[in-house]
Chain A
């Protein structure tokens, strides 16, 4: 794969505040790379430096092998789709899209052809003559996308592209974005705080926290093999318990956790000193819930169902385990109706497979 964007120790400071701290990153051509993080984690600052609106305090940015230092936004091979869309309010949708092409000094006919084609792709042809204030949020978003794509950039930067849309429209647009990306072969860098959006869109995700990239990986990597407590906690929901490493073999480890009140058996080794403090994280959907005690010694806790949330496709159980902590368990609702559902205040056994628990050392 061909490397298209490279960040080399990029740092951005605003006064004493370090917005982006020593980020080194490589993004391949044709990739959809998501920068995921909470608000204020520096992801938008990173995107703005790529677009050329802010200059890094130190470090360098390469796009297609070219150092971007000193190159203004209007000469960069990247286009950006803004979170607020930033459509020109005094121009029609058509004029908004044509604006970028007019800067390239293309012929009128060529501009007309390309604007028409991109309007077709985003299915906005009937609205071409409307001004932004006459369009709905979803329509504006499409025009903003068309405007950033019409120049056929090699790199498209998207700042919370779907933030302003409702859930239904969002899902639909996500798949449309994927389709457009595949057919045009553009490299996407998407900034988002929405993990679902990142999971659906991204080929790789970079999780950011306090200006640093804490983990880079494919969506399954990030979800199933988080490298730190922050990532495990930030992506999806998780039951996290502190414990001590009591048995450390190459093929398995055993962790004693007072918070959990049980032993956790994991079927792979880790590299940590015996007796070290570690954390074990178990995803709610990987936990079994049953009235009868399963035949197992490890990965088993007893508790009482305190709360049940019915969410249609699945149900979530909040179980108070004997140590006093709460555990979150989700189960898919496979059958439509069941006589024998687990209900409030029932005593239950929670268990999980030895490959399910994640062991974290930091």
Chain B
């Protein structure tokens, strides 16, 4: 009787008989207060939202914590190749050894600092190039007729149907000294000796811009496509020439799209491994390559982990900026 009064949802559910075996176990064994809470607060909507969080927790946060832990260990030649953090020191003492040496080491060798800076520079310039190339394309797609629009969008996405690795290798065939571009230029008599394009910054920019351009175009298109054309007409009506209208109306309104596109290119480009390894310079590594070398060539997992953590912190800042701008935009739309 008192249960009915205190736990109406639980009593109703038990009385209805619609209780699966797992729930029945919970309702029997757990305190009725818990069951009542679950029944009244865990709605379907909350469970749906909880799914991606659970996914991120399992496959992002937990591995991150593992890497974070390893970054404080000492390297040793063993299996696994690092010392555990917790050690039985004997005499009823558990010792926690936090080794800051890996982080300190990153500062002593300027390989890491220059690689970081080089990666950020390459990523920033690539993002800018993607923006300069992608904005007019996205604008043209958004302003074309619906039939052409879907064709253009398909063409933007089409390269994804081929292996990414294959497409980067194809660029080697184009850029190398006896590659397609040099052969054609020499046959035409434009140049006498082949231009060195492979293993240069230029090749890396080509590779990154080519590979990441769709990530710039798609968010920009999504933004520009939603623009109300009457705003452009209104600006013209008020005496603004087309260029002025673009600068004062279209460009500011597409700012969220620009931010999304730039971050979608910049963030993965900082940690890019394949493109600089295949097309880039041998004397200047990007941080992704350094990281991979630490793991697989050096087998120094703790230092590699420290590099990974630093890289993450380097990337968390722009992601947070992105989130802030997005939430601000959502607020403005209300």
Contacts and interface: CB of A to CB of B under 8 A. Distances in A.
Nearest to B231: A86
Contacts of A80: 233-234, 237
Interface in B230-284: 230-231, 233-241, 244, 248-249, 252-253
A74 B241 CA distance: 6
Contacts of B1: none
A74 B240 contact: yes
A147 B239 CA distance: 12
Nearest to B249: A88
Given A89-B253, A133-B333, A84 B230 contact: yes
A86 B234 contact: yes
A103 B244 CA distance: 9
A88 B231 contact: yes
B252 A74 contact: no
Contacts, number: 64
Interface in A76-97: 78-80, 82, 84, 86-90
A103 B252 contact: no
Given A84-B230, A133-B333, A90 B253 contact: yes
B234 A82 contact: yes
A133 B332 contact: yes
B109 interface: no
B334 interface: yes
A84 B333 CA distance: 16
A264 B32 CA distance: 86
Interface size class of chain A, counting residues whose CB lies under 8 Å from the partner chain: 20 to 34
A73 interface: yes
Contacts of A53: 233, 236-237
Nearest to A97: B238
A328 interface: no
A72 B248 contact: no
Given A53-B233, A73-B233, A99-B248, A86 B239 contact: no
A52 B238 CA distance: 12
B252 A100 contact: no
Interface in B200-230: 228, 230
A51 interface: yes
Contacts of B228: 84, 86
A104 interface: yes
B334 A99 contact: no
A79 B249 contact: no
Contacts of B249: 88
A238 B240 CA distance: 47
A89 B332 contact: yes
A334 B234 CA distance: 49
A193 interface: no
A131 interface: yes
B332 A86 contact: no
Given A74-B239, A100-B238, A103-B244, A86 B253 contact: no
B242 to A, nearest CB: 8
A148 B236 CA distance: 12
Interface size class of chain B, counting residues whose CB lies under 8 Å from the partner chain: 20 to 34
A99 B230 contact: no
Contacts of A99: 235, 238, 240, 248
A103 B334 contact: no
B201 to A, nearest CB: 37
A72 B236 contact: yes
Nearest to B331: A133
B334 A133 contact: yes
A142 interface: no
A151 interface: yes
Contacts of A82: 230, 233-234
A175 to B, nearest CB: 26
A17 B277 CA distance: 59
B238 A147 contact: yes
Contacts of B233: 51, 53, 73, 80, 82, 86
B230 A86 contact: yes
B332 A131 contact: yes
A215 to B, nearest CB: 29
B240 A103 contact: yes
A89 B230 CA distance: 12
Contacts of A78: 237
B231 A79 contact: no
Contacts of B237: 51-53, 73-74, 78-80, 148
B253 A103 contact: no
Nearest to B253: A90
A295 B239 CA distance: 67
A22 to B, nearest CB: 26
Nearest to B236: A73
A83 B231 CA distance: 12
B328 to A, nearest CB: 12
Contacts of B332: 89-90, 131, 133
Nearest to A76: B237
Nearest to A53: B233
A53 B237 CA distance: 9
A231 to B, nearest CB: 31
A73 B233 CA distance: 8
Given A74-B240, A80-B237, A103-B239, A90 B252 contact: yes
A150 B253 CA distance: 24
Interface in A85-139: 86-90, 99-100, 103-104, 131, 133
24 contacts: A51-B233, A51-B237, A52-B237, A53-B236, A72-B236, A73-B233, A73-B237, A75-B239, A78-B237, A79-B238, A84-B228, A84-B230, A86-B228, A86-B230, A88-B231, A88-B249, A90-B252, A90-B332, A99-B235, A99-B248, A100-B239, A131-B332, A133-B332, A133-B334
10 closest A-B pairs (Cβ-Cβ)? A100-B238, A103-B239, A86-B234, A73-B236, A86-B230, A74-B236, A80-B237, A74-B239, A90-B252, A103-B240
Interface of B: 228, 230-231, 233-241, 244, 248-249, 252-253, 332-334
Given A52-B236, A53-B237, A74-B241, 18 more contacts: A53-B236, A73-B233, A73-B236, A74-B238, A74-B240, A79-B237, A80-B234, A86-B228, A88-B235, A99-B235, A99-B238, A99-B248, A100-B239, A103-B238, A103-B244, A131-B332, A133-B333, A151-B239
